[in-house]
Amino acid sequence: MTSREGIVNWIFITPVMIILLGVTIFPLLFAYYMSAHDMTMVNFWHPNFVGLENYLEIITTTDFWSSLRFSLFFMVIVTTIETLLGLFMAVYFDRPLKGKRFLISFILIPLGIAPALFGIMMKLMLNEFVGIVPFILRHLGVTFHFFKDFTSSLITLIWVDVIQWTPFIFIVLYAAIQALPREPIEAAIVDGASKWQLFRYITLPMLKRTLIIVLIFRMMDALKTFDTIYVMTGGGPGISTTTLSIYIFKLALIRGDFGLAAAATILFLYLATVAISFALKRMRREGII
Amino acid sequence: MNSLVEKLISAIITAILIIFFGFPVGFVIWTSFRDYGAILAGQFFGFHYSLTNYFNVLFNPGYAFTKGLINSIIVTIATTGLVLLVSFPAAYALARFRIGGGSLSSYIFSIRLLPPIIFAVPLLVLLYMLQLHDTLLGLTIVYLAFNIPLAVFLLRSFIMEIPIEIEEAAIVDGCSKFRVMLYVTLPLSKPGLIATSILTFIMVWAEYLFALLFTLKNAVTINVVASQFVTQHTIRYGEIAAAVTIGMLPTVVFLTLIQKYLVKGLTLGAVRGA
């Protein structure tokens, strides 16, 4: 290929490059600039240089660390539950069932709802006055306040996340199971393998590649959770369910301190970049990208 | 006997799954048709159903719901069209010329994986500076960039499935690369284009964080308005339910329509053969 041809090839990708440069790369560089200045809602044209002051303030406040801790904690819990449940469902549906296609479409519905709307929906369902769940619980003689303290809020948020995102893991794994070659499975059945052995030693190893992909996506998406938690608890009670996304959002919009928010942004960027570089390396090794 | 027990267990599991995943949606649709009085009185059963909530949500001049709905439609359609326009050539170049090696695709891929809040704070200030804050144009530009990864990777995986021999034949006949893409590959990519546009539509329609940060009054989207409902009209439960039902309708319908391409779309084409 001549170099002239190489330049022509780049023309195809130029519009995308310009947009990504302007809307993703430049803002990240700008975030560095912001983080070193005392930029606020009222003076973003002429901010003063403050060096590393913003970073110092972020890493010495407990709010940053507690939201980081909650983000990681939430990510690990929901990913674990959703993966196990999704895997169980994918295996469960790998059999003749009456009305299976319809049932699968039905289970996928939460995936098609905007997370913010889904959060509102769940909040309504758990509402003390109109919610059907407290109504049923009352009649069963159980009293449970869904947003009273950290523990109850956490259980509620995990529950909501599981309903919304298990279908994602389920459908990806289900599709992967359907596409598996049937010969090894049939051979194992002939050899008298039990259902558990079939799953543990045949299906699961063949699913490894898909599991890695789905875990990477789900973990990164869980790490950035904002919508549902923001509409349901707003990060409370107190700041106990504040994720890093909510923390930075509040620094920028409620406190109006863009410099501080930018410093927290850069710290989050480093954290996410470390995670993503592991993920990309793994995906390249598996030949995914 | 054994098969009877198995059937029973299977029926129970199916019922649990239906209730677990379907209940919230069923409940909100049901609530949206219930009368204000019946809801407040805590009457769960009886016949007090009407379309009043929908009528109020859509036509009450005090609510910004219709504005949010129209804004969402405009921004979503504009973004989807523009995303396809710029992503198709890029996907073609990635699939056929392996342009930029691995690092370019890695970067595009990481935009999908990075938390959007990382871009949100600097973008907020930049939009203020450019006076694009709270405008549909500003929101569309942002959505355009963040939906490129999905479109590029999904289209790329569709293009890679088209046999390259067809294009090679056209090149032998003297077509330029650009004309080959336009007249040979593009028509053959129709299923890919449809799947990509529908998935992009869903993603843009569902977006909340950017919409919440980058709009105030004029460019609010349906999700922003619906969440404001909860705080501003706390006890108008039926109307909140109606707003949520209208908001989820397009994406739920679309998701059901493109189920075949869902797995590919959700993992940016990383899961093959599905």
Asked whether the beta carbons of residue A172 and residue B263 sit closer than 8 angstroms, the reply is yes
Q: How confident is the model at residue B274 (pLDDT cuts 50, 70, 90)?
A: very low
Minimal Cβ distance to A248: which of B117, B207, B212 = B117
Inter-chain CB pairs, A–B, below 8 Å: 293
Whether the predicted pLDDT of B1 surpasses 60? no
pLDDT of residue A188: 85
Residue of chain A whose Cα is closest to the Cα of B89 = A12
**Which B residues in the span 43-102 are in contact with A, Cβ-Cβ below 8 Å?**
44, 85-87, 89-90, 92-94, 97, 99-100, 102
pLDDT of residue B264: 80
pLDDT of residue B71: 95
Residue of chain B whose Cα is closest to the Cα of A136 = B44
Mean pLDDT estimate for chain B: 87
Question: What is the torsion angle, in degrees rounded to the nearest 10, for the CA atoms of residue B216, residue B217, residue B218 and residue B223?
Answer: 80
Domains and CATH numbers, chain A: 36-285 (1.10.3720.10)
Asked whether the beta carbons of residue B117 and residue A27 sit closer than 8 angstroms, the reply is no
CA distance A146 to chain B (A): 15
Q: Which of A85, A130, A215 to mutate to test the interface with B (most CBs of B within 10 A)?
A: A130
> What are the beta bridge partners of residue B34?
B49
Asked whether the beta carbons of residue A31 and residue B40 sit closer than 8 angstroms, the reply is no
Asked whether the beta carbons of residue B113 and residue A276 sit closer than 8 angstroms, the reply is yes
Instruction: Note whether B144 contacts A: Cβ–Cβ < 8 A.
Output: yes
Per-residue pLDDT of chain A (289 residues; tens, 9 = 90+): 456 777 778 888 899 999 999 999 999 999 999 999 888 887 778 887 888 888 998 899 989 999 999 999 999 999 999 999 999 999 999 888 888 888 999 999 999 999 999 999 998 888 877 788 888 888 888 877 888 889 889 999 999 999 999 999 999 999 999 888 888 888 888 888 888 888 888 889 888 888 988 999 999 999 999 999 999 998 878 889 999 999 999 999 888 889 999 999 999 999 999 989 888 888 878 776 6
Residue B200, both tokens? 């992009």
- The whole-model pTM stands at 0.91
Q: How confident is the model at residue B248 (pLDDT cuts 50, 70, 90)?
A: very high
Asked whether the beta carbons of residue A121 and residue B24 sit closer than 8 angstroms, the reply is yes
Determine what percent of chain A is predicted with pLDDT higher than 90: 48
Model pLDDT for residues A92-123, shown as the tens digit of each residue: 998 888 888 889 999 999 999 999 999 999 98
Asked whether the beta carbons of residue A112 and residue B24 sit closer than 8 angstroms, the reply is no
Model pLDDT for residues B20-78, shown as the tens digit of each residue: 999 899 989 988 888 877 777 766 676 678 888 898 888 887 788 899 999 999 999 99
Asked whether the beta carbons of residue B118 and residue A269 sit closer than 8 angstroms, the reply is yes
Model pLDDT for residues A133-181, shown as the tens digit of each residue: 888 888 888 877 888 889 889 999 999 999 999 999 999 999 999 888 8
Residue of chain B whose Cα is closest to the Cα of A34 = B122
Q: Give the pLDDT mean for B104-120.
A: 90
Question: What is the torsion angle, in degrees rounded to the nearest 10, for the CA atoms of residue A247, residue A253, residue A256 and residue A261?
Answer: 40
pLDDT of residue A84: 96
Please state, in angstroms and rounded to a whole number, the distance separating the CA atoms of residues B148 and A23: 11
Which residues of chain A does B28 touch, with a Cβ-Cβ cutoff of 8 Å?
A: 121, 124-125
Please state, in angstroms and rounded to a whole number, the distance separating the CA atoms of residues A141 and B185: 64
Asked whether the beta carbons of residue A216 and residue B254 sit closer than 8 angstroms, the reply is no
